[in-house]
Amino acid sequence: MADRALVTGGAGFIGSNLVRALLAEGTEVVVLDNLSTGSKANLEEVADHVELIEGSILDADALKRAITGAARVFHLAAQVSVPASMVDPAHNDAVNCQGTQRVLEQAREAGVQRVVYSASCAVYGNAAGLPKHEGSTLAPESPYAASKYYGEVLGGVWSRSMGLEVASLRYFNVFGARQSPSGGYAAAIPIFVQRTLDGAPIIIHGDGLQTRDFIHVDNVVSANLLASRAPDAPGGVFNIGSGVQTSILELTQKIAETVGSATSVTHSEARHGDVRHSVADISLAERALGYAPAVDLMTGLERTVSWQREQR
């Protein structure tokens, strides 16, 4: 079988970065994306080298067409917002639960060698104990978190019982180029960078002392490529983070330092479903996948600020 890969959600933030890395490896790439949050602009400079199928993972015909001939599938297509999942849990379930099951079913039927599933650190919720390791107590706080855990469980079942190799990667807080600062559910870093560049105050939900493990997208792309090849990956669940804990207030200071201008902060109410503290134990991914986060937070912020300046 030729080295052909399907990236579901490949026109999105992480997916479009992964597509570029696969092309650089010489892989033939197919993208399946309904462009609900992804964008053709994210693939603009590589469009001639990628087969883009506009469609949902819930569209059986589009999914079958996209997956045929693929040796590897990187399943990133998802409803990715915690707040949106609280507002419309039924849509979240359809995309993240039913959609993932359909991807796995089609992958097995198509003879795919391995699926790498994009999971989430949201599964840990506010359970006690840091850093979070793969055996930590799980306490999902939102329909989004619950649905991403369901995808992991499916991946384990398909690996153990259904003859399909599946590896699940629990991403922590990913940031970097092609992450949109617009929209009601945009992530913190692109919004904070944009507001700092604009000289506008940064709005923090809560007191700002909540912590996150921010991981640059290049590290996440590397983890996907490793998980698609590593002999010990199938059936496994792996934390993909930096192993470094950063508060939201500290993050605003680092962004101001990177941009080279002062910033002001205002506070609003904490959001329902948000986790208080989060940081990854990445030792299992280091051992089993050979994963090592090569891009640290400050380097990642420099790249992100540079990219957002270019977009302006």
Residue 151: CATH number of its domain: 3.40.50.720
Token code pair at residue 258:
């990177």
Angle between the 99-110 and 143-161 helix axes, to the nearest 10 degrees? 20
pTM value? 0.96
**In the block, which residue shows the tokens 């089609």?**
106
Query: Would you say residue 106 lies in a domain?
Result: yes
Catalytic pick among 117, 144, 149, 291: 144
For residue 71, the enclosing domain spans: 4-175+216-241+278-293
Per residue in 203-220, pLDDT (tens digit) is 999 999 999 999 999 999
Establish whether 117 is a catalytic residue.
no
pLDDT of residue 41: 96
Cβ-contact 217, 174 below 8 angstroms: yes
Per residue in 241-293, pLDDT (tens digit) is 999 999 999 999 999 999 999 889 999 999 876 789 999 999 999 999 999 99
Query: Would you say residue 28 lies in a domain?
Result: yes
Structural domain count of the chain: 1
- Whole-angstrom distance, CA of residue 22 vs CA of residue 198: 35
- Whole-angstrom distance, CA of residue 102 vs CA of residue 158: 12
Cβ-contact 243, 200 below 8 angstroms: no
Q: Cα torsion at 238, 284, 134, 124 (round to 10°)?
A: -70
pLDDT of residue 89: 98
- Whole-angstrom distance, CA of residue 257 vs CA of residue 154: 43
Q: At residue 1, does pLDDT exceed 60?
A: no
Query: Would you say residue 168 lies in a domain?
Result: yes
- Going through 80-150 in order, the beta strands assigned E by DSSP cover 114-120
DSSP annotation of 201: P
Query: Would you say residue 237 lies in a domain?
Result: yes
Query: Would you say residue 124 lies in a domain?
Result: yes
Neighbouring residues of 129: CB distance < 8 A, sequence distance ≥ 6: 136, 137
Give the SS3 label for residue 46.
helix
Query: Would you say residue 58 lies in a domain?
Result: yes
Token code pair at residue 153:
């469980």
Neighbouring residues of 47: CB distance < 8 A, sequence distance ≥ 6: 40
Query: Would you say residue 268 lies in a domain?
Result: no
Q: At residue 185, does pLDDT exceed 70?
A: no
Query: Would you say residue 152 lies in a domain?
Result: yes
DSSP H or E segment with residue 195 = helix 188-198
Q: At residue 118, does pLDDT exceed 50?
A: yes
Give the SS3 label for residue 5.
strand
Neighbouring residues of 192: CB distance < 8 A, sequence distance ≥ 6: 202, 251, 252, 255
CB-count burial class (<10 Å; 0-12, 13-18, 19+) for 300: buried
What percentage of residues in the chain have a pLDDT greater than 90?
Answer: 92
The rounded mean pLDDT for the chain is: 96
Q: Give the total residue count for the chain.
A: 312
DSSP H or E segment with residue 153 = helix 143-161
